Chain A
Amino acid sequence: GENVEQHPSTLSVQEGDSAVIKCTYSDSASNYFPWYKQELGKGPQLIIDIRSNVGEKKDQRIAVTLNKTAKHFSLHITETQPEDSAVYFCAASGAFTGGFKTIFGAGTRLFVKA
């Protein structure tokens, strides 16, 4: 079935350092890979996404990469700031069994120490 694995579950970095979160998906029908940031007491918010026909996408301090062959995709945050502290979710979306779905990873809790 569809599955998304996300690592690490917890990540602690010093302000200014880079943070990398990695995900692996199982279903080759996945063709859209959004990333969400969830701050305390709030709902997840879409921060960046990448489609299956693109290998890399960048938006200011965040970038995503996709390796379709290996079924890997990653989120890179450079020059981290305390306000980047949150739970980050990767997801894989596609026409799976039962219809179009978005399957989420288990989340990575990022701590940025000032």
Chain B
Amino acid sequence: DTAVSQTPKYLVTQMGNDKSIKCEQNLGHDTMYWYKQDSKKFLKIMFSYNNKELIINETVPNRFSPKSPDKAHLNLHINSLELGDSAVYFCASSFRQGPSIGYTFGSGTRLTVV
């Protein structure tokens, strides 16, 4: 299946831990994104990568570090997890950066910090 796939789907962890979320797309897209969706369903851009290069970093704390080993993968590593990090994190991709481009989203990773 062609898609954007994220793992894990659910992640429950204690405050202070370090965790990673993986994302892979097999659509041949050049641009990948991480979005955070809070409990009120609000979607906020975190990062955008184009062909492995960071192009958008929306004032996300340094504890969040994206890594793109190749243009098909964009992983998100989070250090020293806090309660406020609890949310659903969505990976997305698009054919290219720029206007008039729709996104393909993954199914999300629900992170719960206790």
B interface, CB within 8 angstroms of A: 4, 40-45, 48, 55-56, 58, 90, 92, 97-108
Chain A: interface secondary structure?
A: strand
Chain B: interface secondary structure?
A: loop
Among A16-24, A59-67, A72-80, A98-106, the stretch in contact with B: A98-106
Q: How far is the CB of A7 from chain B (nearest CB, A)?
A: 14
Which residues of A are found within 8 Å of B98, using beta-carbon distances? 100
Number of A residues contacting the other chain (C-beta, 8 Å)?
Answer: 28
A interface, CB within 8 angstroms of B: 31-32, 34, 36, 38, 41-46, 49, 51, 87, 89, 93-95, 98-104, 106-107, 109
**A99–B56 CA distance with the chains assembled, in angstroms:** 7
**A51–B100 CA distance with the chains assembled, in angstroms:** 7
A41 in contact with B99 (CB, 8 Å): no
